[in-house]
Amino acid sequence: MATMMPLQACLGGLFIGAACGAYMILVGRIAGNSGVMKALVLGPREPTKIAFLGGLMGGGALMKTLLPGAFEAARAPSLAIALSGLAVGLGVALGNGCTSGHGLCGLSRFSLRSLAAVPTFMGVAIVAATVTTYNGTIGSPLPITPTPQPTIDLAAKLAANLAVAVLPAFVLKGTLKEVYAGLWVGTCFAVGLSVGGMVRPSVVINALAPVRFDATLWILFMTALATTFGLYRVASAVGVSGASCLAPGSSQGAIDAKLLTGAALFGLGWGTGGVCPGPQLVSLAAEPTAPGLLLMLAAVAVGIRLAGARAPKPTPSIVPIHCPNLAPSLFLALKLTLALARTLRCLTLPQALTRSVRARARP
């Protein structure tokens, strides 16, 4: 039976907040999972972002071994999964952020763009999750249960090991420091997502929809935000200018239609699929041959590529508000997603037939 474990959600939020804050303190960077995905698809493939990606996936494989119960069975490939991934990819590329980049780091930096993006994608995600899951009744919230002691002990051991592992980042210099910091932050982020339950799409969807309410997402998010916010104030105190958009010489970007369209698309994909880029990569590392996860990753990549192909060259000045025409891109994206779904179905069908034949052959 599904339950809520508030303490476990808090522990996950602490790991995630520590990762976000440490990245800013160590190298002055925003720990955005969608930025890592975007760099992988569109470039530039900076060493620190590749290391961040390696940390996410290495951490996912590690947590699958240490805490296998944190993951749920991967869903089978479907058109719904592909379209959710496509919307996430378009959204994070157009809006330039997701729950980590905008939700944690952006709000902690006092970014007005993030202040506009977060309620937009949260609101759309709640509506999308509610519409797709509502069955005419609203059930009672999930029961609260204590976090198992072995999970608490594991979290303590991981925290101690990560605390020791971060020390070299304070003495390394240049590119090596950035690469090491990226690897550490990605690993710490993966641990937090796994411990906190964010690698289970059902947890996210239940938090966004009232059908069977699960507060895990909100407990984790508020814990991670409070931790990130506090560490960003430390970063500001030691002179990291990127930790605040209010610092001298900093500027606020434009709140334009592209940002809001991207946030809405991301919210649509997140609310219907229950997965954003960080948990997607961690889950894929935990189960790298799952067809459903591979389909969603491919769809996210297609969405990022389509949005990147249509993106205008950046200019230093604030651009006027305008509404981009996404219809041609969405039509093309739908065709590509359908093709991907058919391809994966063809690849997995022989395996299913083989399993069926073997099952029938058993005495």
> Which amino acid belongs to residue 114?
S
- 144 φ/ψ angles, rounded to the nearest 5 degrees: -90, 130
Establish whether the linkage from the previous residue to 77 is cis, with ω within 30° of 0: no
Instruction: Report residue 321's pLDDT band, with 50, 70 and 90 as the boundaries.
Output: very low
pLDDT at 210 over 50: yes
The proportion of the chain whose per-residue pLDDT surpasses 70, expressed as a percent, equals: 85
Provide the residue count of the chain: 363
The proportion of the chain whose per-residue pLDDT surpasses 90, expressed as a percent, equals: 71
pLDDT at 255 over 80: yes
CA distance 321 to 315: 14
Instruction: Report residue 308's pLDDT band, with 50, 70 and 90 as the boundaries.
Output: confident
CA distance 141 to 133: 15
- Compute the average pLDDT of residues 197-208: 94
Please indicate, yes or no, if residue 361 is contained in any of the structural domains. Answer: no
- Mapped onto helix, strand or coil, the DSSP state of residue 4 is strand
Q: How far is CA 342 from CA 212, 280, 339, 355, in A?
A: 33, 21, 5, 20
Q: What is the mean pLDDT of the chain?
A: 86
Bridge partners of 144, per DSSP, are 4
Please indicate, yes or no, if residue 358 is contained in any of the structural domains. Answer: no
Please indicate, yes or no, if residue 359 is contained in any of the structural domains. Answer: no
Please indicate, yes or no, if residue 357 is contained in any of the structural domains. Answer: no
233 contacts: CB under 8 Å, gap ≥ 6: 243
Please indicate, yes or no, if residue 315 is contained in any of the structural domains. Answer: no
pTM (2 decimals)? 0.83
pLDDT at res. 206: 93
- 106 φ/ψ angles, rounded to the nearest 5 degrees: -65, -50
Total domains in the chain come to 1
Contact (CB, 8 A) for 240 and 23:
no
CA distance 185 to 28: 13
- Compute the average pLDDT of residues 352-358: 38
**Angle, alpha carbons 319-300-126 (nearest 5°):** 80
Please indicate, yes or no, if residue 318 is contained in any of the structural domains. Answer: no
Bridge partners of 4, per DSSP, are 144
Contact (CB, 8 A) for 128 and 121:
no
Please indicate, yes or no, if residue 30 is contained in any of the structural domains. Answer: yes
Q: Containing domain of residue 56, as a range?
A: 6-310+323-348
pLDDT per residue over 325-352, tens digit each? 434 443 443 444 344 434 434 443 344 3
Q: Out of 67-71, 113-117, 317-321, 345-349, which region has the weakest mean confidence (pLDDT)? A: 317-321
Is pLDDT larger for residue 165 or for residue 251? 165
Please indicate, yes or no, if residue 113 is contained in any of the structural domains. Answer: yes
pLDDT at res. 204: 95
